Amino acid sequence: MSELKQSRPKGTQDFVPPDSERRRQVEAAFRHLAACYGYREIITPTFEHTAVFVKSSGEGSDVVTKEMYSFKDRAERDLTLRPEGTPGVVRAALENRLRLPCRLYYVGPFFRYGRPQKGRFREFGQVGVEALGEASPLVDAEIIYFGADFFRRLGISDCTVQVNSIGCRTCRPAYRETLRKSLFDQKERLCADCLVRLERNPLRVFDCKVETCRQAVQDAPTPRQHLCADCERHHEQVLSALTRRGLRHAANDRLVRGLDYYNRTTFEYLSTSLGAQDSLGGGGRYDYLVEDFGGPPTPGVGVAIGLERTLLAAPVAPAPARRHLAFVIWLTEAERAAAQELADRLRTDGIAAQVDYDARKVKGQFRSADAAEATCCIIIGPDELAKSVYSLKDLATGEQREVASDVLVEAVRALFRD
Ligand code: HAM
């Protein structure tokens, strides 16, 4: 092939058949499961006012400081391609005055300007759910269970769940100061970014991948050790509800997750098959976010799952449902119009049909049928037209027979049945 003039932007992907179909199948499985748990779909814009993310994900988070695709539009508005779903969903729930409590799910593209690698893209798919207005720890547990249920149904067996609690507005301020003090005492180990994090929000140091920073947080006090009585009770209830459901989980006292809006429960699903980007999905509770957007005090909890990573981890990517297609073949110019009419008739009956109008020769049309991975060919020649019959060829077996016009649909349907 001669050199192409354009290629896709770094960090983006093309999904061509059948991978596009596999991806849609995973999305469909997610939609089905989310509906089973009482969630309804919300569709929000792929870009929002930049403030939506800065105010919620957090000014000190990597997502906001390093990874956003932000731009000014022609009217000088500050806009950002959504790096995650939660802030837009909360914004939309408030703007549309949704009745609370409400359970919402979403499926769509998200954008982060990171260094592309296996499982990390600049445009990626996420599926997620948000439960707004539900405070019970049983909801945290149900959402954690929901994600695990999704992975289990896809056959991902190496998925482990890590859970933590990062406290609330009562216990966090004192903990934050204790943490700041501890990290300040080790500040020579911290990278330049973490020195800024130390001032703004020392919890963000837990997100840093630099080895010396990781060592510093290993020696630092954890949020779990500083929970108030209410947070401790909430956490215990989440853990015991997970145990009751038979979901194995591991404590990770340093799991704060890279977004500022979380309180209490944080969790992540990990898979060993993913390499460095080992997080299949994650989420947590965010009881102050609705208020931060100007709404009434409303608890919230949710999860988001990366589609590409899910597809990578699924041992046998779910096979797309067998697709069927009837290819209508015309022998001479005189039957071309009849071929088109027949294709329309089949489509009216819900049968996928295609005609190659360009081909000069029958051989070329059969080649097109092959490229389209058709199930059968329906051949119309002068004889067939005169006798009001069609020749139906099963492309799997090569078997060909004449079929009367009035039973054609039935005969094609019989071939489509598998
Ligand atoms: P997150 O952990 O930032 O959480 O993203 C969730 C998942 O999206 C990750 O575990 C990963 O599978 C996938 N993901 C993130 N960035 C990329 C990327 N650059 N390329 C490929 N996959 C990626 C959130 O987004 C929160 N909104 C989750 C949440 C919902 N919390 C409460 N509700």
Question: Which of 34-38, 40-44, 63-67 is least confident?
Answer: 63-67
For tokens 């009956």, what's the residue? 349
Residue 418 has pLDDT above 80, yes or no: no
CB-CB neighbours of 392 under 10 Å: 20
What pLDDT, on a 0 to 100 scale, did the predictor assign at position 65?
A: 86
Going from the C-alpha of 186 to that of each of 53, 219, 249, the distances in angstroms are: 31, 9, 32
Distance 83 CA to ligand 1 centre (A): 8
Q: Which of 293, 377, 370, 286 is nearest to 329 (CA)?
A: 377
Strands 102-111 and 159-165: unpaired
Residue 346 has pLDDT above 70, yes or no: yes
Work out the angle at residue 98's Cα, subtended by the Cα atoms of residues 94 and 102, and round it to the nearest 5 degrees.
Answer: 110
Residue 286 makes CB contacts below 8 A (sequence gap 6+) with 86, 261, 262, 263, 300, 301, 302
What pLDDT, on a 0 to 100 scale, did the predictor assign at position 321?
A: 72
Confirm if 78 and 68 have CB atoms less than 8 A apart.
no
Mean pLDDT in residue range 66-90? 97
Q: pLDDT band for 310, please (50, 70, 90 cuts).
A: very high
What pLDDT, on a 0 to 100 scale, did the predictor assign at position 275?
A: 85
Ligand 1 atom closest to the Cα of residue 128 is: 30
Give residue-wise pLDDT tens across range 181-211. Answer: 999 999 999 999 999 999 988 999 998 989 9
Q: What are phi and psi of 281, to 5 degrees?
A: 180, 170
Does the Cβ of 121 fall within 6 Å of ligand 1? yes
CB-CB neighbours of 69 under 10 Å: 15
Does the Cβ of 112 fall within 6 Å of ligand 1? yes
Cis peptide before 101 (omega within 30 of 0): yes
Q: pLDDT band for 152, please (50, 70, 90 cuts).
A: very high
DSSP 6: -
What pLDDT, on a 0 to 100 scale, did the predictor assign at position 317?
A: 58
Residue 268 has pLDDT above 80, yes or no: yes
Residue nearest to atom 14 of ligand 1 (CA): 306
How many whole angstroms separate alpha carbon 115 and alpha carbon 62?
A: 12
Q: Which of 82, 12, 77 is nearest to 44 (CA)?
A: 82
If phi > 0 it is left, if psi is from -120 to 50 it is alpha, else beta; for residue 197 that is alpha
How many whole angstroms separate alpha carbon 323 and alpha carbon 406?
A: 24
Q: Which of 162, 135, 145, 138 is nearest to 240 (CA)?
A: 138
Top-confidence residue, 177 or 359: 177
DSSP 120: B
Tell me the pLDDT of the chain averaged across its residues. 94
Distance 292 CA to ligand 1 centre (A): 21
* Total length of the chain: 418
Q: Which of 265, 276, 336 is nearest to 302 (CA)?
A: 265
Distance 58 CA to ligand 1 centre (A): 15
Mean pLDDT in residue range 275-281? 89
Ligand 1 atom closest to the Cα of residue 285 is: 32
Strands 69-72 and 78-81: antiparallel
Q: H-type helices in 154-261, by residue range?
A: 172-184, 192-200, 211-218, 229-244
Does the Cβ of 83 fall within 6 Å of ligand 1? no
Considering the chain, what percentage of its residues have pLDDT values greater than 70?
Answer: 98
Does the Cβ of 91 fall within 6 Å of ligand 1? no
Residue 319 has pLDDT above 70, yes or no: no
Distance 162 CA to ligand 1 centre (A): 15
Confirm if 68 and 84 have CB atoms less than 8 A apart.
no
Which amino acid, 375?
T
Distance 46 CA to ligand 1 centre (A): 15
- 77: its two tokens: 């508005």
Using H for helix, E for strand and C for coil, what is the string for 240-301?
HHHHHCCCCCEECCCCCCCCCCCEEEEEEEEEHHHCCCCEEEEEEECCCHHHHCCCCCCCEE
How many whole angstroms separate alpha carbon 161 and alpha carbon 280?
A: 10
How many whole angstroms separate alpha carbon 220 and alpha carbon 176?
A: 11
- The pTM for the full model equals 0.92
Bridge partner list, 69: 81
Which amino acid, 54?
V
DSSP 340-380: HHHHHHHHHTT--EEE-SS-SSHHHHHHHHHHTT-SEEEEE
Confirm if 154 and 218 have CB atoms less than 8 A apart.
no
Confirm if 291 and 275 have CB atoms less than 8 A apart.
no
Which amino acid, 126?
Q
Ligand 1 atom closest to the Cα of residue 83 is: 25
Which domains are delineated in the chain? Answer: 19-155+283-313 (3.30.930.10), 326-417 (3.40.50.800)
Give residue-wise pLDDT tens across range 372-411. Answer: 999 999 999 999 999 999 999 999 999 999 999 999 999 9
